[in-house]
A and B are shown apart, each in its own frame.
Chain A
Amino acid sequence: MRGGPVLHAAVATRSFRRYSTYRAATLAGIFTNSVFGIIYSYAYLALWKDNPTAGGYDAQDAVTYVWLGQALLMTIALWGGGSTDDLAERVRTGDVAIDLHRPVGLVGWYLASDLGRAAYHLLTRGLGPTVIGYVLFDIALPPSPLTALAFAVSLVLAVVVSFAIRFLVASTAFWLLDQSGVKVMSGAFAIFFSGMMLPLVLFPGWLGALAQALPWASYVQVPADVWLGKHTGGDLVAALGFQVMWAVVLLAACQGALHLATRKVVVQGG
């Protein structure tokens, strides 16, 4: 990563501060998260009442899963958005041509910015629904300090994987001028394959196998299972390793996309 850690820390902090000005929006968001949390909790309770061990979960696991999903929604920017929207905008206006010539790695820059944002969303729209879920539905908490730590690691990895995919989506703007179409489709896939709509452990047969192998599984399913203590020992390492693998592969893809884009910009003159 070109540009030192101090620079990237500064970028992250600035991003955090920028998002923290949206206080009213954050409160409104926590309210909405909670309403959806309540709706899905009752839906899952109905399902698990009829089938108490569906997908290897019990009812409390399932309800905890709902609230974790709501808490993670903004942190990992599941619907899209975050710092990569800035990238897409700069591509649209052509300003990105300047960025491509700066001596700072673009991917690292935007990643730092997104992590700053994610930190803010974690503290507000992550913590908020978790607390409300605990109060209303008595959701399960991590069974041990090690689990809690593993969850924290898994969460950071989830943000990185999500960032990489969003970066790739935003970089389509170099070719399509407008990322919105791709962004909407990517968001829809993310909702489905992250386990946000329904835990991936419920997906039957080949669909389940596919879903658990795709990068979106890193978003919600893996961190949630870590939190619930479903992965221990070697299993835990494998789960985190899965996220690391996708993070590395996708970040490399981001660099590749940027390389192609730079060539295009140079050849076509922006």
Chain B
Amino acid sequence: MADTAAVHLRSYLQIASLWIRAAWQYPTSFVLLAAGNGLITGLDFVGLWIMFVHLDDLAGFELHEVALLYGSASLALAVADTAIGSVERIGAYIRTGRLDQMMTKPVPLLVQVCADQFTLRRLGRLTQASLVFGWACTFVDWTPLRVLVAVSMLVSGGLVFFGLFVGFSCIQFWTTDSTEFANAFTYGGATVTQYPLTIFPREVLVGLTFVIPVAFVNWYPCLYLLGRSDPAGMPEALQFASPVAGVLTMAAALLVWRSGVRHYTSTGS
């Protein structure tokens, strides 16, 4: 690539701000949609709260600890979701010929697809997740290292989700029928992060560490933040390894994307 990442980011922001302005033409609709989005995504947490009406702890984790898990994952997901937007609908872009149009513009395809139909209504989820996470954070015994780990957790979590969604959306380059297959990994991965991973058998936990690395989105770092030893006896080093997982997932996703575009230009639609 002749251009740098900073240039791509600027292109992305330029396109995104156009969409924000478009949405702002209808302010009431915009606010309603954002509120609705927050409400809908918040129902997940209501579900967790209801669970705790019947429990003192879930697999040894109290409500505020589960809230930390939920809040951090939800925040990472919200950021990723806001950033990558329409990549999940790439199949529709192929079908309508919009992808071809994007290919005639001098901006990388992935940037255009992610920025397309950028919508700030996802701020609803972001707000709701921040509130839960913020509340949960008040129970944490903070040290400077823990703050660092928390920040790294959120950033890396965003990267992992970004990579997962972009990577699995690429299935649409190869098939239009079986796209729901991807949801098992993207939304399934997001659902899994709501719970303490000890509810799963050890094999599943290993899979969520080394195959679909959602365990790094919140589980391992939160163990450190909560000062808990790993209930499954996994190496303590994993609690600091989120950035590695984030970078690797992103890199894998970009490779899959490149491969998908190559397939598309080699076979036509």
Residues B58 and A47 in contact, CB atoms below 8 Å apart: yes
Mark the stretch among B42-50, B135-143, B215-223 that contacts chain A.
Answer: B42-50
Residues A24 and B175 in contact, CB atoms below 8 Å apart: yes
In the complex, which residues 18-48 of chain A have their Cβ closer than 8 Å to any Cβ of chain B?
22-25, 27-29, 31-32, 35-36, 39, 42-43, 45-47
Q: Which of B47, B184, B195, B201 contacts A36 (CB 8 A)?
A: B184
Residues of A near B53 (CB, < 8 A) are: 202, 204
Interface string of B53-96 (1 = CB under 8 A from A): 11111110000000000000000000000000000000000000
Instruction: Please give the number of chain A residues whose Cβ is less than 8 angstroms from any Cβ of chain B in the complex.
Output: 33
Residues of B near A185 (CB, < 8 A) are: 36, 40
Q: Which of A29, A55, A198 contacts B47 (CB 8 A)?
A: A198
Residues A50 and B55 in contact, CB atoms below 8 Å apart: yes
Residues of B near A31 (CB, < 8 A) are: 180-181, 184
CA distance A45 to B185 in the complex (A): 22
User: Distance in Å from the Cβ of A217 to the closest Cβ of chain B?
Assistant: 15
- Given the contacts A32-B188, A202-B51, A203-B50, A188 and B178 also touching, CB distance less than 8 Å: no
Interface string of B203-243 (1 = CB under 8 A from A): 01000000000000000000000000000000000000000
Residues B36 and A204 in contact, CB atoms below 8 Å apart: no
Q: Which of B50, B179, B191, B199 contacts A46 (CB 8 A)?
A: B199
Residues B188 and A188 in contact, CB atoms below 8 Å apart: no
User: Distance in Å from the Cβ of A192 to the closest Cβ of chain B?
Assistant: 5
CA distance A220 to B262 in the complex (A): 44
Q: Is the interface of B mostly helix, strand, loop or mixed?
A: helix
Residues of B near A207 (CB, < 8 A) are: 50
User: Distance in Å from the Cβ of A76 to the closest Cβ of chain B?
Assistant: 17
Instruction: Please give the number of chain B residues whose Cβ is less than 8 angstroms from any Cβ of chain A in the complex.
Output: 35
Q: Which of A28, A47, A184 contacts B178 (CB 8 A)?
A: A28
Residues of A near B50 (CB, < 8 A) are: 198, 202-204, 207
Residues A35 and B184 in contact, CB atoms below 8 Å apart: yes
A-B contact number at CB 8 A: 87
Q: Is the interface of A mostly helix, strand, loop or mixed?
A: helix
Interface string of A190-202 (1 = CB under 8 A from B): 0110000110001
A32, A36, A45, A54 interface centre (most CB from chain B within 10 Å)? A32
Q: Which of A46, A188, A191, A198 contacts B58 (CB 8 A)?
A: A46
Q: Which of A28, A191, A198 contacts B180 (CB 8 A)?
A: A28
CA distance A189 to B179 in the complex (A): 25
Residues of B near A39 (CB, < 8 A) are: 188, 191-192
User: Distance in Å from the Cβ of A184 to the closest Cβ of chain B?
Assistant: 7
Let me know if B7 is at the binding interface, CB within 8 A.
no
A35, A43, A184, A198 interface centre (most CB from chain B within 10 Å)? A43
Residues of A near B40 (CB, < 8 A) are: 184-185, 188
> Which residue in chain A gives the minimum CB-CB distance to B188?
A35
> Which residue in chain B gives the minimum CB-CB distance to A25?
B177
Residues of B near A184 (CB, < 8 A) are: 36, 40
In the complex, which residues 165-187 of chain B have their Cβ closer than 8 Å to any Cβ of chain A?
175, 177-181, 183-185
Residues A188 and B195 in contact, CB atoms below 8 Å apart: no
Q: Which residues of A contact B (CB under 8 A)?
A: 22-25, 27-29, 31-32, 35-36, 39, 42-43, 45-47, 50-51, 54-55, 181, 184-185, 188, 191-192, 197-198, 202-204, 207
Selected A-B contacts with CB under 8 Å, 28 pairs = A24-B175, A24-B178, A25-B178, A25-B179, A25-B180, A28-B179, A28-B180, A31-B181, A32-B180, A32-B184, A35-B188, A36-B184, A39-B191, A46-B59, A47-B51, A50-B57, A55-B54, A181-B36, A184-B36, A185-B40, A188-B36, A191-B43, A197-B43, A197-B47, A198-B47, A202-B50, A202-B51, A204-B53
